[in-house]
Amino acid sequence: MASPKLPVLPARKVIKALIKDGFVEQRATRGSHRKFKKTVDNYVFVTLVPINEKYIARRLLLTIIKQAGHTKESFLELL
C-alpha cells in the first residue's frame, strides 16, 4: 500500500498537531519562525515552523515531520 500524500497545511494546524504530540514552544522575542522542543528518553526533538507563510509546502512539512520523529502516517493521525 502506498503512503498517503501529504496535504498542504496552514502553519497553525501543524503547530496544533505538534502541541498535541507533547511539543512545547520555546519562546523567542521575535522572528518569523516558532521553535518547538520535546524530550523523550534523553533524546531531544527540535523543529522550527514558519509562521509568516499562509500554508506550509509539502516538502517543508515532510522535513518538519522527520525532525519531530514521526512518519507521514503517524503525523497525519495527529491532525
For the chain, domains (ranges, CATH) are 9-78 (3.30.920.30)
More confident position, 46 or 4 = 46
pLDDT of residue 15: 94
pTM over 0.85: yes
Total number of residues shown for the chain: 79
Tell the burial category of 12 from Cβ atoms under 10 Å away from its Cβ (0-12, 13-18, 19+).
Answer: exposed
Question: Tens digit of pLDDT for each residue in 25-79?
Answer: 998 767 889 999 999 999 999 999 998 878 999 999 999 999 999 999 999 999 8
CA dist., res. 77 & res. 37, Å (int): 20
**The three grid cell numbers given for residue 23, joined into one nine-digit string:** 511539543
